[in-house]
Amino acid sequence: MNKQDLARIVLVHGAWADGSGWEGVHAMLTRAGHRVSIVQHATASLADDVAMTKLVLDEQDGPVVLVGHSSGGAVITEAGRDPKVAALVYVAGWVPDSGESVEMLLANPSVPASQPPILPPRGGFLWLDRARFHESFAADVDAAKAAFLADSQPPWGVAAYQAKVTSPAWRTKPSWYLVSANDRMIPPDGQRWMAKRAGSSVVESDGSHAIYVSRPDVVASLIMRAGAAVRATREQPSSPRP
C-alpha cells in the first residue's frame, strides 16, 4: 500500500498528562507505517488547546484521524471541524455537545458521577491528589510508572474545564469511541452514553483511565480501524452525474 494513501494521525492528550503518554501508541502506529503527530498543549484553556491542535493539523498533507484522550475529547470535538479531519477517535474521552463543557457533563445525570481525587483549585488550576493518582487515573499501570505520571502531571485550567464547545465535529464527521471498562475517572456508563449520543462506533476493553498507556495495542488497533474506514470511503468510486 502506498503510504500516501494512509490517513495522517494526530494524537491529543488530556488533563493531568502530556504527549509522552502516547509513546506506546506512537510506536505501534509508526511501526505499521502510519504518519503520526502528537500535540503538546498546555490544558490551560480550551481555546489555546484547540489553537495548538490546529497548528499541528496545518502541517498535515492528507486526511487526518484526530484522536483525543480524556479532556482531549473536548479539544478534538472543537478542533475536528477543520477540513483536514476525516474522522474522530475518542479514547475514554469527554464528548461535549454544542454549548456544553466538561463541567456540565460531570453534572449531567446521564453521566454517572465518579469521585476523582481533584484538589480544590489553586490559582485557576486543578490538580489530582498525587497520593491517589495511581488508583484513580492509572490503576493498571505499574506503580513506578504511575508515580512518575503523578509527579509530572501538569495542572488543568479551570478555564478549560468550564469552556463550552461551540459546534461539535462529531455531528458531521464519523467517530469511534474506546470505552475503558475499569475507568475510575470517567465512569464507563457515562462513556457509553456519550458515545451513543455521538453515534460513535464503540469498542470496549478492560483498562483504567490511562488505557492509552497500559493498552497501547487496543488503542492503536482502533485508530487504525478508523484510518482504514477513512481510506475505504475515499477509494469508493464517485457516483456518475446525470
The C-alpha cell at 127 is: 490538580
Tens of pLDDT, residues 108-135: 888 776 778 999 999 999 999 999 999 9
How many whole angstroms from its chain centre is CA 53? Answer: 12
| Single pTM value for the model | 0.94
The predicted structure's pLDDT at residue 182: 96
Residue 144 neighbours by CB distance under 10 Å: 8
Which residues fall within 8 angstroms of residue 97, CB to CB, at 6 or more apart?
Answer: 165, 168, 197
Contact 10, 67 (CB under 8 A): yes
3-51 per-position pLDDT tens digit: 555 679 999 999 999 999 999 999 999 999 999 999 999 999 999 999 9
Considering Cα of 193, then 195, then 199, then 202, what sign does the dihedral take? negative
